[in-house]
Amino acid sequence: MKKQVYIVDDHPLVVDALNNLISKSDDLECIGSSDTIEKAFADIENLQPTLVLVDIQLKQNQNGLQLLKKLRTAFPNIAVIIISMLTDDTFVDRAFKLGAMGYVFKEDTTTQIVEAIHTVLRGDYFVSSSQATRLLGHLYRTSQKEEKDPIDRLSNRELEVFLMIGEGMPVKEIAANMGLAASTIETLRSRIKTKLSISENEKLIRVAVEWKYTQSKPEAVVSS
């Protein structure tokens, strides 16, 4: 019996590429996809796939880590792999802490993506070879008690706000996207500034934009 895979990504070309990739494996089949958290959760609740591939950056500035957290609570037996352009250790660390069993870069080869799926379906964790090297370096730096990256100090919600600030979104728009009061976003923004040792809103915007820019990579995604 084939293992069923569900895809959560807001780029149609990526979904098609992953779908085609999965269809080439005799033991796998793609049973659906979505580009929003709400539809994905509803579909996953109904379809009960074996494994879900989740992108972090989704439509309407939704964050795939939110979906990951919901899935781990509601459906702990469904395996989740994050597949993203975001390569910063911050996202990798948080994804695993929230319950992901794999983290694959969209620039990774098809061989590694298929390997990730099969590895996780066996019940093991997966990181790509390039990522493994980075994580080892990160663990070494941590063991040497070097200064922590300021971004790591942000909570998941603060990081979400920080990413939207990097998109150039004003407070009211961030509040609407997150379903929170503008005053709550103001509070979160103040906490971010404190943790990053920033006093002016203009500098916060600049830092957020620059940091987000460093995370962006070409969107070719699934290459052979």
> Tell me: the pLDDT tens digits for 177-222?
888 899 999 999 999 999 888 988 889 998 888 887 666 543 333 4
Enter the tokens of residue 190. Answer: 């103040």
Phi, psi for 61 (deg, rounded to 5): 60, 30
Nearest-angstrom CA–CA distance, 12 and 36: 13
CA-closest candidate to residue 102, choices 86, 123, 116, 84: 116
pLDDT of 138: 53
Percent of the chain with pLDDT over 70: 85
On whether the CB atoms of residues 106 and 137 are closer than 8 A, the answer is: no
Q: What are the C-alpha distances in Å from 185 to residues 100, 121, 179, 188, 191?
A: 27, 39, 10, 5, 10
**Residue 27 neighbours by CB under 8 Å, 6+ apart:** 2, 3
Q: Is the pLDDT of residue 136 over 60?
A: no
Q: What share of the chain is helix, strand, coil (3-state, %, to 5)?
A: 55, 15, 30
Nearest-angstrom CA–CA distance, 19 and 151: 34
On whether the CB atoms of residues 48 and 79 are closer than 8 A, the answer is: no
Min mean pLDDT across 29-38, 43-52, 64-73, 150-159 is at 150-159
Q: Which residue has the higher pLDDT, 97 or 47?
A: 47
Within 82-128, residue ranges assigned H as helices are: 89-97, 110-121
- Tell me the pTM: 0.68
Spell out where the chain has E strands. 3-8, 28-34, 51-54, 79-84, 102-105, 126-127
